[in-house]
Structure 1
């Protein structure tokens, strides 16, 4: 057995400890894990749980740290290129997905006029959005890495908006989002066929939507965010209902596969499965919570039952992870498996946000 496997086995063998209700517990561990001022990706995930009030461990506002410490500028003209590096020199993630940080600042509720202190002087969130528009590339935005770009644009611009890129191309937001919905539907084609055929599950093989980060749920969120406009909901119509139906189908399909994976996996290798469970159930609740808040969608009694089921499944995964001692031994996990450490950190915050969105339904 490798050294990393021994560490993971020790984590999974640690005695359980008393803890507060799941929602509070997730929020507490999100705040602790995401407050590192040297990790802007982590700070952005802290905004999921705490919104713009979130602060780094050194007491500074997280939104200020993200811009002042990590935004770069090439040139000094009004159209200078602004960027965040994908990672720092020591490998700490900064912006592993294009425009993740701008999207996070927008969803934290900051106005375009909000001003930050960058290394060279004041800059507004609106200026960051303008830079995103200038650098927009359709092929990138409609790739598996494009969901954060789409989400940022759908929040920053009204329907019917157009903008010009750095190379002089004119982009219509509605056309891009129509293409994004069509892309989502193509990537979900196998799931839709399984749902219509009444199959209990569609195996995950990194195909279609499963080739996207986080099972494509960021793409779902970005597309559904554009539907907060009444005109968009009218134009897309029943296609939005199908997206909700597919989310409910995925809950049943994927929970079966996670249960089977836990049963067939040796104890030393169960931690990645449990982390994937927290990732999926947390993102799933967050996706429907955002859809409700952004569009006014009201779940039916049957859909509320599915949301309660997702909460119970998330609670079960969190309890098993808590019993493993993995949060209390984050440093050991980081040394043994940096990728699992990042999953733990980010997905704890997504789960905290998802639980908070449905706290009146789930309790705790």
Structure 2
């Protein structure tokens, strides 16, 4: 399965408007041109128009069809300021504070989504994850019933015997350093939804640990055990099990010995890591040592599609994440 090709084809079938908040970055300008040419999305770039056009000229790209908005000079400033003030006045901000915030492209882009002037946003090429998430939490917030925003990585493996035809989803690999049991349970549910809606996987969720079914005792193990119980109670139709080691989750012969009777062990296609360290290390090991393609990180749990790039991203990475964001907007 060519996952990225499928995303681009789905995105092209129903164009959504995706905002790029970092128009001062030449990769973003180049990606805007490419995404528009490939008909992945209708793109809006935020930034100073003269600088964006100068970058396009220097890099030899054509921005025909790309919308450019200067947040500081936009006709939307008053509307966005008023709406942001209403959202945040309980925190004691003034109208002047609200206007200053809205002139920040990350806040402006998020408010475009909130007011239905855009369908999603891609940022993070030049901003830390926290900067991208802050306006998202303050403006669009999380989905109903969800309190934990997390990330998913779609892993495309060369060995098709793992996952669903070589496709697996890992979480959380980018957001929560030390999730508690309630957060892990939510991450399991939202990642299963990502697997189902974005890559058409029938999710079989393994919640990982260094222990399988009580083989070791530790507070970290107990956290996962409680998370499994909560995930099963809160989502009775979800195929989720644990705690289990990675080999028990992935290899049928090992599963028969370590977790007999489990309906997930040995055939998991969604792996929930117990903390950010293991999740981040795990996906990068699979990417580098097994030659897997790692697609993401994809933010999940927000009420609108806003995704965070790596600051080391390439132009192609931006375009790929744009396609994913557009498909998320379609599903929303």
Greater share of strand: 2
TM-score by length of 2: 0.29
Greater share of helix: 1
